[in-house]
Amino acid sequence: MVQISEQLNSYRSGPDENGFFGQFGGRFVAETLMPLILDLQDHYEFAKKDASFKAELENLHKHYVGRPSPIYFAERLTDHLGGAKVYFKRDELNHTGSHKINNCLGQILLAKRMGKTRIIAETGAGQHGVAVATAAARFNLPCTVFMGATDVERQKPNVFRMKLLGADIRPVTAGAGTLKDAMNEALRDWVAHVDDTFYIIGTAAGPHPYPAMVRDFQSIIGQEAKEQMMEVEGRLPDHIVACIGGGSNAIGLFHPFLDDPEVNIYGVEAGGYGVETPDHAASLTGGNPGVLHGNRTYLLQDNDGQITEGHSISAGLDYPGIGPEHAFLHESGRVKYVNATDKEALAAFQLCTQLEGIIPALEPAHALSFVEKLAKDRPKDEIILMNLCGRGDKDIFSVAEHLGVDI
């Protein structure tokens, strides 16, 4: 007799002991990495149940990051759209300007507990690199950040920021010199420095236990939002929305709501020039399952299985893969994955700035573009909650360029 436990019916029960969410995830790594991954998993399992770990992280959230981040009723935007009420979860107010710090602090506390003395990380646009360099400075650990050579050129302000914070930047010239190549190089470095090094992955991807661990550290977003919605509206939102690069801010918002069937959930991928063109970063809408960076998930790839370069106006969204839990939530139908083009994101960026006095990062501007359509379609008594996961200061140069403005 097969017993179907309540846990198995939950969308929140994954991953299994081998790191699989349905057929996605796992740990496809070199044999030399296996002991490290298992050691990390053991330490994480232990820390998760340890009250002092939780207390230390909570203290940092409150006094260093500035959590809880507020939820905010976007009244003028709501009036302008003329439909459902729009709320923002204001994670752009966090120290360092995005949700990335939530995960970095969790992982660096774990590194300390494991007695590691050196931090490595990959970064694309540089937002994760800045958050890691910040945490490394705070905890007095030397830090090396791998960054594609192309991205080093494109993201000079963040490169300088990381250097000021004391990080050693290693430009990676392999491949196209972007995030995928930086992550390969970081994994290689990790194998070569097994004893002293902790690898802080920046999104809910990589080999098990990273996707689950990053999700857990980012779930503070959804946990707070749930409580705050109850306080302000006395009920849960009808719709929640977040943008997707690798999927960490999205899974952080979504996970606490997965077993609330009345809440509709939408992930917004980067549509670039349009998902019908080769130039987008919508891994679920326009990709196929394959293996990259230690896990099985949806990837942008050509007919030979070669990973292709994603394109987005937003450097933070052009990862050619997506966290495996999203691949599972996509196939199960619990979360709907949609996309927004560069143009739509740019328009939403301007609208939010002008109506709400909030300059959003280009990444959540993708989510906002979908929120615009959704709000117009839904009645005034419905509620939409969107994760405003980053601030736009970093993006003003590329926005100026796209608007044809010389600053």
Ligand X SMILES: *Cc1c(COP(=O)(O)O)cnc(C)c1O
Q: Applying CB under 6 A, which residues contact ligand X?
A: 98, 100, 127-128, 203, 243-250, 316-317, 361, 363, 389-390
CB of residue 92 to ligand X, shortest distance in Å: 7
Based on CB atoms, which residue is closest to ligand X, 71 or 388? 388
CB of residue 55 to ligand X, shortest distance in Å: 26
Per-residue 3-state assignment (H helix, E strand, C coil) for 89-156: ECHHHCCCCECHHHHHHHHHHHHHHCCCCEEEEEECCCHHHHHHHHHHHHCCCCEEEEEEHHHHHHCH
Based on CB atoms, which residue is closest to ligand X, 84 or 317? 317
CB of residue 125 to ligand X, shortest distance in Å: 7
Pick from 313, 194, 195: which is nearest to 243 by CA?
313
Write down the number of H helices and E strands in the chain.
16, 14
CB of residue 267 to ligand X, shortest distance in Å: 9
Q: Which residue is nearest to ligand X (CB)?
A: 390
CA atoms within 13 A on the CB side of 57: 24
- Token pair, residue 372, equals 């615009």
Contacts of 302 (CB under 8 A, 6+ apart): 308
CB of residue 245 to ligand X, shortest distance in Å: 3
CB of residue 295 to ligand X, shortest distance in Å: 14
Residue environment code for 209-242, b if the CB has 16+ CB neighbours within 10 A, otherwise e: bbbbbbbbbbbbbbebbbebbeeeeeebbbbbbb
Based on CB atoms, which residue is closest to ligand X, 84 or 182? 182
Based on CB atoms, which residue is closest to ligand X, 185 or 395? 395
CA 167, CA 143: separation in Å to the nearest integer?
5
Based on CB atoms, which residue is closest to ligand X, 83 or 267? 267
Q: How far is CA 108 from the centre of its chain?
A: 17
CB of residue 327 to ligand X, shortest distance in Å: 14
Based on CB atoms, which residue is closest to ligand X, 237 or 247? 247
Based on CB atoms, which residue is closest to ligand X, 84 or 213? 213
Contacts of 261 (CB under 8 A, 6+ apart): none
